[in-house]
Amino acid sequence: MSRFRNLGVSGVKVSPICLGTMMFGGQTDTPTSVRIMHKALDQGLNFFDTADIYNAGQSEVVVGQALADRRQKVILATKGRGPMGEGPNDAGASRVHLRQAVDASLQRLKTDYIDLYYVHTPDYTTRIDETLRALDDLVRAGKIHYIACSNFRTWRLMEALWTSDRLNLHRFACIQPLYNIVNRDIEVELLPACHEHGIGVVSYSP
């Protein structure tokens, strides 16, 4: 796979296919997971996706192990916002939780930076400006390179972009929606909005 494309209007280049690792460290055992990732690398993929809630963090652990000696060659994406404990601040897109979640993901992935960090699902109990300020701080601290969102409705994405522009914060580089031949709702509003505003689309469950 020799062709790469920019992620939205960012300068980072990714393979057209991103390898999702939701089952790694769970239904797919560690040796098999590592073998799959190494085969993907050998075939030219440089884009890998995981999340802190996948198999209670074990997906991140396995991904970190598999990519440890090739870290500089890959674009590594993970996600936060989901419940990682039973405490009142162990979930959500608040400043408190996102800072904790990023640090925990870095530890599990055995890396000192995350290339692309998604807010996994919307958190309507937290103001979007708090979420974006927290993510902006994490970018400026060097822990994250690019920020993104997943499962956001069009209006929430537009609110986030407007807030980032108004407050001079880093913008979402891409969005991860459900999209396949059966689920095509994003064609109505979300895809045109992303095209208009330069937001990359990394669909899941294709």
Active-site annotation, residues: 54
The terminus-to-terminus CA distance of the chain in angstroms comes to 19
The first and second tokens of residue 197, run together, are: 């505003």
Q: Which residues of 4-35 are buried (b: 16+ CB within 10 A; e: fewer)?
A: eeebbebebebbeebbbbbebbeebeeeebbe
In 51-126, beta strands by DSSP E: 75-80, 114-119
Q: Are strands 114-119 and 200-201 parallel, antiparallel or unpaired?
A: unpaired
Give CA–CA dist 117/51, Å, rounded: 9
Query: Are 44 and 13 contacting, i.e. CB atoms less than 8 angstroms apart?
Result: no
